[in-house]
A and B are shown apart, each in its own frame.
Chain A
Amino acid sequence: MEAKELAEEKFEIDKLEILDASKLEFYRDDAGFVSLKYNGQEYFNVRLTRLTPFYSATTYISVAYDNEDNEFKEIGVIKDMKELSPEQYKLVDDYLEYKYFMPEITRVHSIKDNSRGFIFVDIDTSAGRKTICIRDWYSNFRMLSDKLLYAVDVDGNKYACHDIDKLDKKSMSVLEIYV
């Protein structure tokens, strides 16, 4: 009986499923999570993930959920968030911006090195001015591409400057010897 059951099971290779943006209906449920109605199915607490968080914030967004066995199941991928309706776009964007909370560095005032592997970086960010402390700065304060500066402070908060060429001259000269 068991052998028969197994013999009848079919195994499919996972394929990339690009989601039809017009059928996606995201909503915030009562528990405070983002949930989804799609193709007549309802998914509670879906997991939205930027597949290339550093290069694009609004394209290739994976939509997944955990099934009853706590297994990761991907519903599909949103190719470009622009295809979503304005309200849907805002809901998804709000969630992603919050999940990937990463203030943008707009100016670098100074960097102080305490010679113990920590640096203290005084920056203006989109979330206000702050002096952040970075441990092991060789790994946690670095360029991910020619333009993208990425910083992780001792607490694990992340900061980024997507185009350092847009920073003012003084910030650039402060940054110069560190990156």
Chain B
Amino acid sequence: MFSVPFNLYKKKEKVNGHLCCTHEEFLVYVNDELRETIRYDEYDEYACEQLVGCSMMVARKDDVTKKYICSFTQDSFIAFAEVAKIVNHYLTTGIFVEKSGIDEPKCPKCHLPLDGYAECPYCSSKLRVFTKLFKRLAPYKLPFAAAVLCTILAELVNVITPYINRILVDDYVIPAQEATGDYSIGWSGFAILCCALLGSVLISTILDFVNMKASRHVALNLGQDLRQDVFNKTLDLSMSSISKKTAGELISRVSNDANKIQSFITDYGKDAIIRILSLIIVSIIIFIMNWKLALLAILPIPFVIFIVDRIHNTINMHFRRSWRFSNEHSKLLHDALNGIRVVKSCGTEEQEIEKYRVASSKWAKAAGDAEIVWNLVWPIMDFVLTFGNYFILFFGSKMILGVMPSWGTMTLGELTQFTSYVSMLYMPLRWLMRLPRTFSDVSVSASKVFEILEEQTDVRDSKDCIDLDIKGDIEFDHVYFGYKVYNPVLKDVTCKIEQGKMIGIVGHSGVGKSTMINLILRLYDVTQGSVKIDGVDIRNISQQSLRSQVGVVLQETYLFEGSVLDNIRYAKPDATFEEIIQASKVAHAHEFITKLPDGYNTKVGNKGHTLSGGERQRIAIARAILHDPKIIILDEATASLDTETEKQIQEGLNELCKGRTTIAIAHRLSTLSNADRLIVLDKGRLAEMGTHDELMRKKNVYYSLVMAQRKTTKMKKADIGAAADVKVNA
């Protein structure tokens, strides 16, 4: 049906291998020779295992790796994972899918991984991105038009100034030998010219002011719109889309990328129009004035563009290198100072000082190199760029003196005007040289921002979804799920949780306990099967209605910046103060809150009062009680607390769970002593379900978990005993 090439086989020597898949078996060909035939049904499952420098495909029976099939370098991993997925799907359903989407797609143009984007942000049409960006200007078209108009007018005024200067020089600056006899100066004309000059300065200042105000208005509003839209959309995305991006990246999208676009619009968007316009106008003027001199002025430009293009990367690299060393330097500083107790207690000060000296000197050298390159290149480039000026002065003065009749003649005023225009020509040119880089930078930022704005969230409310008044029956019906489709975390999980019962989920870490909870909350959608609440598939319940009726207490409670009151009220913003106190009382939080210096107004969060783990959990429980959910989820709610605090919190939790369907995950099995039933997960499958006594009698997975935990508890006790002995002996 299809075959996938592989390049390693048991040894490191490269081979030319093919893994061929038929409807019934794998055929392993190595260097065109059939090595092995493996029937699919000989094993339960096929998987890819990652080694260090390569990966291999293996077959498993009863979750134990039993057979080696072939190996390959990491670039083929996805393809083989896909094969394993297809064959596993065939083994469970009997259906052979011939085509399935690859999980981590690459851009067809630049072949770089897409990193969760639907379209490569680097290769998407720049024009399209900018069209989208300018469409966002629509609500501010009036101030934007005013800004553009003011800039054009200011530029026109600037073009007039050198012309006035020329008249001033030609008519009023008279060489001494020609001025003999007649000393009369047309004062009225002179005054008009002076007024015109003054007027032009005044007008351009007014125009600049209006322009600045209008463009600031546009940019700030546009930036705000963008940031708000990106933030709204980010909160709306599904967990799987969000987890593809790091928190840092999302923050950077909301702030940095949106800011970059904002400043581009103010500094470049409008400037681009005017700079290009002024370049054209000035070029036309100087070519009309004297095309030969104009050619001389622009002569060095192609050279400069060529050289800048060539050395740009080198300069850039030097600066990045310096940035990298500075980063390493601060990391080291951070390390040594944060771990100062370890450094002191190990007596490694000398070692750290030497490490710091090396890092610091590396940074200094890299920064020095970068500065040298920069200071060497740019003045030379600038000099070469403006070299045309020297040609103009040389040939222009010869034309004034009339020693080059073939080039025509020129007055002093004309030369002054000409050189002014040439300087005006260089300004947009310098700017234009930097433009491609800024342009591509911003287009990347803009496409990243639009990517978020246009992303379709994959956990969506269906059209006919309902608002369900939840009673609390939960059912897992042959649920399969994996964060990466080729690596299932939950396999064929089927169970029923009755209304009002407390269920504990137990199992080794990484077995899929928290995943089950994520599925109940519908943070992700199942790959196969369904999760039902009160008999309704949760994909048919609106997310708002579902989550508003499920309360969660996690291991680490995140307290938002604000007061204790704000944090408890978070789950129900319209709760009265009495309700809040009542909830705090039930959660056993009221007592410690009363003892806080500012009571319910005590500031907590990043920069606020530091609460202990137990106190934070009590706030979380109060929050959950206030929320009044139908289903309660306790995900290691008391794991980070000592047993004493756990006991106190437990009372609060018992109050919270009364009469509500409760699902609790805990490593410490004693925490689940109140549970009506326990679900035991093993290797992603539901291994057992029953009460503590039933499961202990079975002597299976749960029994060994309990025994293993008793062992560790006993070892801990033995350690404490030994330590006590040592003390006594001492």
Binding site for B on A (CB under 8 A): 6, 9, 11, 28, 31-33, 45, 53, 66, 69-70, 94, 97-102, 113-116, 118, 127, 133, 135, 138, 153-158, 177-178
B8 with A101: CB separation less than 8 A:
yes
Q: Are A100 and B53 in contact (CB under 8 A)?
A: yes
Cβ–Cβ < 8 Å partners of B440 in chain A: 115
Q: Are A98 and B324 in contact (CB under 8 A)?
A: no
Would you call B122 an interface residue if the criterion is a C-beta within 8 Å of the partner chain's C-beta atoms? yes
Q: CB-CB < 8 A to B77: which residues of A?
A: 155-156
Instruction: Report how far A163 CA is from B63 CA in the complex, Å.
Output: 42
Q: How far is the CA of A153 from the CA of B52 in the complex (A)?
A: 13
Closest to B324 in A: A138
How far is B36's CA from A136's CA once the two chains are assembled, in angstroms? 40
Pair A11/B718 contact, Cβ less than 8 Å: yes
Contact A99 B54 (CB under 8 A): yes
Expressed in whole angstroms, the Cα–Cα distance for A118 and B317 within the complex equals 13
Contact A102 B113 (CB under 8 A): no
User: Judging by beta carbons under 8 Å apart, are B51 and A99 in contact?
Assistant: yes
Q: Assuming A11-B711, A31-B68, A97-B11, is B53 touching A158 (CB within 8 A)?
A: yes
Q: Please give, as numbers and ranges, the residues of chain A lying within 8 Å of B10 by CB-CB distance.
A: 28, 32, 94, 98
Q: Is the C-beta of B66 less than 8 angstroms from some C-beta in chain A?
A: yes
CB-defined contacts of A118 to chain B, threshold 8 Å: 112
A178 to B325, CA, bound (A): 11
Give chain B residues whose Cβ lies under 8 Å from the Cβ of A6: 707, 710-711, 714
Question: How far, in whole Å, are A118 and B334 apart by their CA atoms in the complex?
Answer: 27
Q: Is the CB of A116 within 8 A of B122?
A: yes
Nearest CB to that of A112 among chain B residues? Answer: B313
Kindly supply a per-residue 1/0 record for chain B positions 696-712, scoring 1 wherever the CB is within 8 Å of any chain A CB and 0 otherwise: 00000000100100110
Q: Are B317 and A178 in contact (CB under 8 A)?
A: yes
In the bound complex, do residue A154 and residue B113 qualify as a contact, i.e. CB atoms below 8 Å apart? yes
Bits for B60-96, please: 1 = Cβ < 8 Å to A, else 0.
Answer: 0001111111010111010000000000000000000
Task: Return the 10 tightest CB-CB contacts between A and B, nearest first.
Answer: A32-B68, A101-B53, A156-B74, A155-B75, A97-B12, A101-B54, A98-B12, A102-B53, A155-B74, A99-B51
Asked if B136 is an interface residue, CB under 8 A from chain A, the answer is: no
Write out the residue numbers on chain B whose beta carbons fall within 8 Å of the beta carbon of A11.
711, 714-715, 718
Checking B14, B314, B318, B321 against A127 with a beta-carbon cut-off of 8 angstroms, the contacting residue is B14
User: Is B632 part of the contact surface with A, judged by Cβ < 8 Å?
Assistant: no
Q: Does A99 contact B53, Cβ atoms closer than 8 Å?
A: yes
A33 to B49, CA, bound (A): 13
| Nearest residue, chain A, Cβ from B440 | A115
Interface contact A100-B711, CB-CB below 8 Å: no
Chain A residues with CB under 8 A of B14: 127
8 A Cβ contacts from B465-494 to A = none
- Closest-by-CB residue of A relative to B76 is A155
CB A139 to nearest CB in B, in angstroms, measures: 10
* Residues in chain A near residue B624, CB distance under 8 A: none
A114 to B112 CA separation, bound complex (whole angstroms): 11
Complex interface: chain B residues within 8 A of A114 (CB): 122
Name the residue on A nearest B508 (C-beta): A70
Contact A177 B112 (CB under 8 A): no
Contact check: which of B52, B327, B707 meets A53 at CB < 8 Å? Answer: B52
B710 nearest CB across to chain A (Å): 6
Other than the known A115-B437, A157-B75, what 14 A-B pairs have Cβ atoms closer than 8 Å? A11-B711, A11-B715, A28-B10, A32-B67, A33-B68, A70-B683, A98-B11, A98-B54, A115-B316, A127-B14, A135-B113, A155-B75, A155-B77, A157-B53
Q: Which residues of A contact B67 (CB under 8 A)?
A: 31-32
Tell me if B444 is interfacial: C-beta within 8 Å of chain A.
Answer: yes
CA distance A157 to B715 in the complex (A): 42
- The smallest beta-carbon distance between B357 and chain A, in angstroms, is 15
**Bound form: Cα–Cα A101–B77 in Å:** 14
Which residues of B654-707 are within 8 A (CB) of A? 683, 704, 707
What per-residue 1/0 map shows which CB atoms of B8-35 lie under 8 Å from chain A?
A: 1011101000000000000000000000
Q: In the complex the two chains form, what is the Cα distance from A53 to B52 in whole Å? A: 10
Which A-chain residue is minimally distant from B72 (CB atoms)?
A101
Residues of B near A101 (CB, < 8 A) are 8, 12, 51-54, 73
Set of chain A residues within 8 Å of B65, measured between Cβ atoms: 33, 45
Chain A min CB distance to B719 (Å): 10
Chain A residue nearest in CB terms to B121? A116
Q: A113-B313, A156-B74 are in contact. Are A70 and B711 (CB under 8 A)?
A: no
Cross-chain pairs A/B with CB under 8 angstroms, 5 sampled: A97-B12, A101-B51, A156-B74, A156-B75, A158-B53
Q: Which A residue's beta carbon lies closest to that of B73?
A: A157
Could you tell me the distance between the alpha carbons of A63 and B286 in the complex, rounded to whole angstroms? 81
**Residue of A94, A135, A177 with highest tally of chain B CB at under 10 A:** A177
B317 and A157 contacting across the interface, CB-CB below 8 Å? no
Nearest Cβ on chain B to A147's Cβ, whole angstroms: 15
A131 to B150, CA, bound (A): 52
CB distance from B537 to the nearest CB of A (A): 34
Question: Which chain A positions have C-beta within 8 A of B313?
Answer: 113, 115
What is the distance, in angstroms, from B474's C-beta to the closest C-beta of chain A? 29
Write the nearest CB–CB distance from B676 to chain A, whole angstroms: 23
Chain A CB within 10 Å — which of B52, B318, B327, B714 has the most?
B52
List of B residues within 8 angstroms of A94 by Cβ: 10-12
Closest approach, in angstroms, between the C-beta of B108 and any C-beta of chain A? Answer: 15
A13 CB, min distance to chain B CBs, angstroms: 10
Contact of A154 among B12, B112, B710 (CB under 8 A): B112
Whether B317 and A98, one on each chain, are in contact in the complex, defined by CB atoms closer than 8 angstroms, is no
| Cα distance A156–B75 in the bound complex, in angstroms | 7
Looking across the interface, which residue of chain B has its beta carbon closest to that of A30? B67
Query: How far, in angstroms, from A133 to B110 measured CA to CA in the complex?
Result: 11
Report whether B53 and A116 are in contact in the complex, using a CB–CB cutoff of 8 Å. no
Complex Cα distance A115/B312, Å? 11
Does B316 lie within 8 Å of A113, measured CB to CB? Answer: yes
| Cα-based distance from A157 to B683 in the complex (angstroms) | 29
Cα distance A116–B318 when bound, in Å? Answer: 16
Min Cβ gap A140→B in Å is 13
- Cα distance A28–B10 when bound, in Å? 10
Cβ distance A65 to chain B, nearest Cβ, rounded Å: 11
Q: Which of B414-446 contact A (CB under 8 A)?
A: 437, 440, 444
Q: What is the CA–CA distance of A60 and B403 in the complex, to the nearest angstrom?
A: 88
Q: Which residues on A sit within 8 Å (CB–CB) of B314?
A: 177
Contact A177–B318 (Cβ < 8 Å): yes
Contacts known (A98-B11, A158-B52); A113 close to B112, Cβ less than 8 A:
no
The answer to whether B112 touches A98, judged by C-beta atoms less than 8 angstroms apart, is no
Query: How far, in Å, is B66 (CB) from chain A's closest CB?
Result: 6
A-contact 0/1 string along B302-343, CB 8 Å cutoff: 000000000001101110010010010000000000000000
Contact residues in B for A9 (Cβ distance below 8 Å): 711
